[in-house]
Chains A and B, each alone.
Chain A
């Protein structure tokens, strides 16, 4: 079965430190990978997806098919980045998303 793994439940860093939120997927085909973010008391929002290869709010993520990873990175964390981050994959134009269990990022001042 397809699975998305986010090994860290909580990641705590100081402001200005680099951040890497890990995500591994299990699908061997050509998945679409996404990162969603949920700020406190707000809705789940799409942060970025691998197809667009864009940088949003300073975050980037590169799809590594060899390692089946899609880690989310930011060189300098800001306090406003504190939130829950979910990695998700979609297979072959399916409407279903498969989510990881999420990582809570806490950026300390």
Chain B
């Protein structure tokens, strides 16, 4: 079992470009969570998805950010028109069921906006 796979590990984008971050959950996991870690801060919840459904996006910035988890394929976190303040580490986690403490995290994607 390869665990939660995130790619790319590092992503550099110029201001105004789009960033697409991918997350493949562990085999058998149908719940995906995205967290963001800004410099010098802890991880903060962004969004919780199940297959084809956004369950809770209360932590997502209201503009430029979107997430999806299609029936087939990885979960995608998309950031449009990136700005310097979007530079952060983005972590994905998955679990087999809700209210399962057993989050399994990926290694994260470090986004740098230049």
Known A44-B93, A95-B48; 8 more pairs at CB < 8 Å: A43-B3, A44-B43, A86-B43, A95-B31, A95-B33, A98-B42, A98-B45, A100-B42
Partner of B45, one of A44, A46, A96: A96
Partner of B91, one of A41, A44, A95: A44
Which residue from chain A places its CB closest to the CB of B100 in the assembled complex? A95
A-B pairs with beta carbons under 8 Å apart, 18 shown: A4-B42, A43-B4, A43-B105, A43-B106, A44-B43, A44-B93, A44-B107, A45-B105, A46-B103, A93-B99, A95-B31, A95-B56, A96-B45, A97-B43, A97-B103, A98-B45, A99-B42, A101-B42
B40 beta carbon closer than 8 Å to chain A:
yes
Interface membership of chain B positions 32-48, coded 1 if the CB is closer than 8 angstroms to chain A and 0 otherwise:
01010000111111001
B73 beta carbon closer than 8 Å to chain A:
no
Interface residues of B (CB under 8 A from A): 3-4, 31, 33, 35, 40-45, 48, 56, 91, 93, 95, 98-99, 101-103, 105-108
Inter-chain contacts of B98 with A (CB < 8 A): 95
Q: Check A101 against B103 for contact (C-beta < 8 Å).
A: no
Tell me the complex Cα distance, A86–B48, Å.
Answer: 21
Q: How many residues of A contact B (CB 8 A)?
A: 26
Which residue from chain A places its CB closest to the CB of B5 in the assembled complex? A43
Q: Which of A1-58 contact B (CB under 8 A)?
A: 4, 6, 9, 32, 34, 36, 41-46, 49
Tell me the complex Cα distance, A88–B106, Å.
Answer: 17
Tell me the complex Cα distance, A93–B43, Å.
Answer: 19
Given A43-B107, A44-B91, A95-B33, A32 and B43 touching (CB < 8 A)? no
